[in-house]
Chain A
Amino acid sequence: MRSPVPRGRIREVRFASGLDRSELVVVDHRDLTGPNEVLLIEPDQPVLAADRVRHLHEPVLLLAHPSREALRRAVAAVEIVVDPEPPVLDFTVDPPPGGVQYGDDNVLKRLSIDKGDVETALAGAARIVEGEYRTGAQEHVYLENQGMVAWEEGDVLVVKGSLQCPYYVLKALGHALGRGPDRVRVVQAPTGGGFGGKEEYPSLVALHAALLARKAGRPVKLVYERGEDMEATTKRHPSLVRHRTGVDVEGRLLAQDIEVVLDGGAYVTLSPVVLSRAIIHAAGPYACDHVRIRGRAVFTNSPPYGAFRGFGAPQTIFANERHMDVVAAAVDLDPIELRRRNLIENGQSTATGQVIDDGTDRTALLDRAVELSGWHEKKAAHAELARRHPWRRRGMGLACFHHGAGFTGSGEVVLASRVDVAGLADGRIEVRSGNIEMGQGTLTVFTQIASEASGLAPSAIALAEPDTARVPNSGPTVASRTVMVVGRLIERAIEDLKARLGLPPDAGGDRFAEAIRAAHAERGEAPVGTATYQPPPGVEWDETTYRGDAYAAYAWAVYVAEVEVDLRTYTTRVVDFVALQEVGKVLNETLARGQIQGGVVQGIGWALMEDVVLEDGAMANAQLTNYIIPTSDDVPPIRVTFEETPYAHGARGAKGLGELPIDGPAPAVVNAVARATGTRPTTVPLTPERLMERLEEGRADVA
């Protein structure tokens, strides 16, 4: 049972008089046996609201019943009565008097990046180009809704469900239930999609299921229906990004002055780290000596925004790449040429001062993508179409971008992830990690990595179920880190196992299997190799100044979209899409291609149609009928090309790629719409309604 208003004081919970409560289990905040806090970064989010509610649909009360139909009748018979207070819903303006609900000013987190001297550089610029860009919330729409089962096994509370981060859930359960890690166990069930939506939110679902199971004294299953999943759970942070860019007469970037504002929603949750990734990617893959980025995540009375593939980067990359086209127009330069003149060359540095020297030729990537897309050939055909056809218009747009793999800055060092590899009695090995499969291919690629490193056949590789009672904490399955970081740990744990068995590093296959069997026979227990994260040499980061190596490695990409706009209906359709990227070594072509294609289509959805309509701060169009994601008939084949520069510190040369493909489609598509229609859209999703407004404004400007 959830809050009916975005802000207020809970007056009472009212049960209708005729309600049969005999088999009904009712839980509220008083049933917690630890602090009423969902453990994450800050302790501000309650497991169940006690006296105040801070967003619509905030959980207040839990009901369970053996009969689903009886439960539905009970839900209809219970009312949460709240004395409403005026909510704060606009993250782009200062809070009104009485609206401050976090700190002194509702700012959940401030972060900044400073490189060089922006003001002086701007003063010397030939042109200063300004722009303001907005992005809307995005709903994950994993096909399988949030779900969890909880039960007690003796003294141990077990929770099993759809989740990305078993150890996040374990810690959250231990904290709010006041139990040590030996009395809680979390098991990941095969997970029907996550995209970040099952990073932090499942802790709440697990706590609710656990509280109910404990009180009921029997197993409890808690599965969200689509509507609840859409209106109550996390989404991508809405953003506002302002750019002020100084360029010289040749279109070289002299200064980038960037302001990033994210809507954090009603609790801190992961907003500080989303903001961190947002600002680090805000200046793009360009060499500029003078950069100032000011970022803040702001409280509103909305359900907390959270992790979503890309984690802040898609918002700032949309703004930056859209802005690059605006800058190109301002200096009368081809947008490809503007980018070519500014892309980071090896030896140059990013906004945080990280020197890039990874052997990738970013200009060559740009040229290759442009060539693959048929950019120059199609331009003439598009001009011809515009002359001949009454309402069909076509255009091309591109985006250059990068995405840092793994946790930001010192995050991986703090995580200190561990992987174990055990030798089994029959000579096979078992990989024990807490990293999970949710469709992205972990099981297959971990098997490949372990097989390659051990010389054993794939059939001789077992992967332990992600069960906190059986696997060490290898960190969460997020941040494009699974293959690059955890895969490397698997390799090292296998090396360690070999060393423990007295084998040289190059020993593998039968010799390895034989040594494992012998060790079993000798000791009567499984020999275990282990590896703990070590940062690659030379990677340094200063958390206080935000200077240094923000990520150990970046994937680089150039995406090109061709769109057709129907001027009768202002509807945009993507008719061709080229996705070119350098991601280190590709370990599994089919899976890697699938990640890129899926991410691109998710990005096209965000660019054009996925519009979260907010009422009272929460999603009002919380049905798949009204929140529209692309179908197979809405998107063209996504043409994927990989360039491979093996990365020395990733598993078998791999870098992360899972999030990269959601970064590029929005700017590429919107740039293409801009070119097709001669207007300057600055917002995603660029729905037909918004494009119509833009075109009408444009007409008014001309008149």
Chain B
Amino acid sequence: MSPERGSYADPAVDYHVEIAFTLNGAEVRIRVDPAERLLDVLRYRLGLTGTKEGCAEGECGACTVWIDGLPVDSCLVPAVQARGREVVTIEAVDPMRLRPLLESGATQCGACTPGVVMTALWILDHPDLLETHTVRELMAGNLCRCTGYDGIVEGVLEALEATRDTEREPA
């Protein structure tokens, strides 16, 4: 299916549209080019460079952010589709939550890490996922070339365990 050809690329015409969405808890209003991806808007317009581009084809997961609470590849999301949604990026993450991942060796070069963290924290927020899925299946959308994944998987499992322990403790 090829898009209608060539008629909407005139540099002289302004195709920008204004959109509003919630970004890391705050309202954002911005004029975007419809050809911009959410990833581009985050990195180049809003200066949130924590989200990385690794492949531009939805394979590596380095650009993972949450939209309405679900992990997505922001390289595959047209920015205009963020309109009215709730977007959360790595910049909103409480660094203290990353401790188990640091201690288990979940990060080496760090290029995959922002995406890994966004998926890992989503799993931690939804422990019931593990009734149907393994951590390895849930993390499969985040390619890592350094760790061999053991550090990541162990970190998630240890953090889940720590959460359960905390929940068991009397208030």
A and B touching (Cβ–Cβ under 8 A): yes
Interface-lining segment among A350-358, A473-481, A627-635 = A627-635
Interface hits, A199-226 → B, CB 8 Å: 225-226
B163 sits at the interface (CB 8 A): no
Identify the interface centre among A70, A438, A600, A624: most chain B CB within 10 Å of its CB. A624
Are A631 and B140 interface neighbours, CB within 8 A?
Answer: yes
Q: Which residues of A contact B137 (CB under 8 A)?
A: 632-633
Identify the interface centre among B35, B62, B151: most chain A CB within 10 Å of its CB. B151
Given A195-B145, A623-B57, also A632-B153 (CB < 8 A) = yes
Minimum CB distance partner of A192 in chain B: B111
Interface hits, B26-58 → A, CB 8 Å: 35, 52, 54-57
Distance in angstroms between the alpha carbons of A633 and B142 in the assembled complex: 10
A440 sits at the interface (CB 8 A): yes
A700 sits at the interface (CB 8 A): no
Q: Which residues of A contact B105 (CB under 8 A)?
A: 590-591, 593-594
Are A594 and B108 interface neighbours, CB within 8 A?
Answer: yes
Contact among A70, A590, A601 for B148, CB-based, below 8 A: A601
Q: Which residues of B contact A657 (CB under 8 A)?
A: none
| Minimal beta-carbon separation of A599 from chain B (angstroms) | 7
Given A226-B57, A624-B57, also A191-B148 (CB < 8 A) = no
- Using an 8 Å CB-CB cutoff, how does the interface string of B119-150 with A read, 1 for contact, 0 for none? 00000000000000011110111111111111
Given A594-B151, A601-B149, A624-B57, also A439-B140 (CB < 8 A) = no
| Minimal beta-carbon separation of B84 from chain A (angstroms) | 26
Are B146 and A632 interface neighbours, CB within 8 A?
Answer: no
B96 sits at the interface (CB 8 A): no
Interface hits, A588-620 → B, CB 8 Å: 590-591, 593-594, 596-602
Are B145 and A597 interface neighbours, CB within 8 A?
Answer: no
Distance in angstroms between the alpha carbons of A341 and B110 in the assembled complex: 44
Distance in angstroms between the alpha carbons of A647 and B100 in the assembled complex: 32
Q: Which residues of B contact A597 (CB under 8 A)?
A: 147-151
Distance in angstroms between the alpha carbons of A597 and B151 in the assembled complex: 9
| Minimal beta-carbon separation of A228 from chain B (angstroms) | 11
Interface-lining segment among A106-114, A140-148, A281-289, A505-513 = A140-148
A667 sits at the interface (CB 8 A): no
| Minimal beta-carbon separation of A350 from chain B (angstroms) | 29
| Minimal beta-carbon separation of A620 from chain B (angstroms) | 16
Q: Which residues of A contact B149 (CB under 8 A)?
A: 597, 601, 630-632, 635
Interface hits, A367-381 → B, CB 8 Å: none
A625 sits at the interface (CB 8 A): yes
Identify the interface centre among A225, A597, A602, A634: most chain B CB within 10 Å of its CB. A597
Are B148 and A638 interface neighbours, CB within 8 A?
Answer: yes
Minimum CB distance partner of A194 in chain B: B109
Minimum CB distance partner of A624 in chain B: B59
Contact among B103, B108, B153 for A598, CB-based, below 8 A: B108
Given A440-B108, A632-B153, also A143-B144 (CB < 8 A) = yes
Are B145 and A143 interface neighbours, CB within 8 A?
Answer: yes
B117 sits at the interface (CB 8 A): no
A637 sits at the interface (CB 8 A): yes
A455 sits at the interface (CB 8 A): no
Q: Which residues of B contact A633 (CB under 8 A)?
A: 134, 136-137, 139-140
Are B145 and A598 interface neighbours, CB within 8 A?
Answer: yes
Identify the interface centre among B52, B62, B109, B139: most chain A CB within 10 Å of its CB. B109
Are A598 and B146 interface neighbours, CB within 8 A?
Answer: yes
Distance in angstroms between the alpha carbons of A591 and B143 in the assembled complex: 19
B112 sits at the interface (CB 8 A): yes
Are A193 and B140 interface neighbours, CB within 8 A?
Answer: no
Minimum CB distance partner of B156 in chain A: A632
Minimum CB distance partner of B107 in chain A: A439
Are B109 and A192 interface neighbours, CB within 8 A?
Answer: yes
Q: Which residues of B contact A632 (CB under 8 A)?
A: 135-137, 139-140, 142, 144, 149, 152-153
Interface hits, A580-594 → B, CB 8 Å: 590-591, 593-594
Minimum CB distance partner of A604 in chain B: B148
A441 sits at the interface (CB 8 A): yes
The prevalent SS among residues of A at the interface is loop
Interface hits, A249-272 → B, CB 8 Å: none
Are A635 and B108 interface neighbours, CB within 8 A?
Answer: no
Distance in angstroms between the alpha carbons of A538 and B168 in the assembled complex: 62
| Minimal beta-carbon separation of B161 from chain A (angstroms) | 16
B60 sits at the interface (CB 8 A): yes
Are A594 and B143 interface neighbours, CB within 8 A?
Answer: no
Interface hits, A147-181 → B, CB 8 Å: none
| Minimal beta-carbon separation of A540 from chain B (angstroms) | 36
B95 sits at the interface (CB 8 A): no
B11 sits at the interface (CB 8 A): yes
| Minimal beta-carbon separation of B152 from chain A (angstroms) | 7
Minimum CB distance partner of B54 in chain A: A143
A548 sits at the interface (CB 8 A): no
A190 sits at the interface (CB 8 A): yes
Are B59 and A625 interface neighbours, CB within 8 A?
Answer: yes
Q: Which residues of B contact A191 (CB under 8 A)?
A: 109
| Minimal beta-carbon separation of B35 from chain A (angstroms) | 8
Are B136 and A143 interface neighbours, CB within 8 A?
Answer: no
Given A190-B110, A593-B105, A624-B143, also A144-B52 (CB < 8 A) = yes
Interface hits, A459-507 → B, CB 8 Å: none
Distance in angstroms between the alpha carbons of A654 and B89 in the assembled complex: 40
Are A594 and B147 interface neighbours, CB within 8 A?
Answer: yes
Interface hits, A335-366 → B, CB 8 Å: none
Distance in angstroms between the alpha carbons of A633 and B149 in the assembled complex: 9
Contact among A192, A594, A638 for B110, CB-based, below 8 A: A192
| Minimal beta-carbon separation of A659 from chain B (angstroms) | 14
Given A193-B109, A632-B140, also A144-B146 (CB < 8 A) = no
Distance in angstroms between the alpha carbons of A591 and B147 in the assembled complex: 9
Q: Which residues of B contact A70 (CB under 8 A)?
A: 11
Given A591-B105, A593-B105, A594-B105, also A439-B146 (CB < 8 A) = yes
| Minimal beta-carbon separation of A224 from chain B (angstroms) | 11
Distance in angstroms between the alpha carbons of A630 and B139 in the assembled complex: 12
| Minimal beta-carbon separation of A222 from chain B (angstroms) | 15
Q: Which residues of B contact A590 (CB under 8 A)?
A: 103-105, 151
Are A143 and B148 interface neighbours, CB within 8 A?
Answer: no
| Minimal beta-carbon separation of B42 from chain A (angstroms) | 15
Q: Which residues of B contact A591 (CB under 8 A)?
A: 105
Distance in angstroms between the alpha carbons of A697 and B145 in the assembled complex: 35
Contact among B11, B56, B110, B153 for A225, CB-based, below 8 A: B56
Distance in angstroms between the alpha carbons of A537 and B67 in the assembled complex: 61
Further contacts, 6 of them, CB under 8 A, given A439-B110, A597-B151, A602-B145 = A143-B54, A190-B110, A590-B105, A590-B151, A623-B55, A632-B140
> What are 26 inter-chain pairs, A to B, with CB distance below 8 A?
A142-B109, A144-B54, A192-B52, A192-B110, A193-B111, A193-B146, A226-B56, A439-B109, A441-B108, A591-B105, A594-B105, A594-B148, A597-B150, A598-B146, A598-B148, A600-B148, A623-B57, A624-B55, A624-B59, A624-B143, A631-B143, A632-B153, A633-B137, A633-B139, A635-B149, A637-B150
Q: Which 6 A-B residue pairs are closest in the complex by CB-CB distance?
A: A439-B109, A192-B111, A439-B108, A597-B148, A601-B148, A143-B111
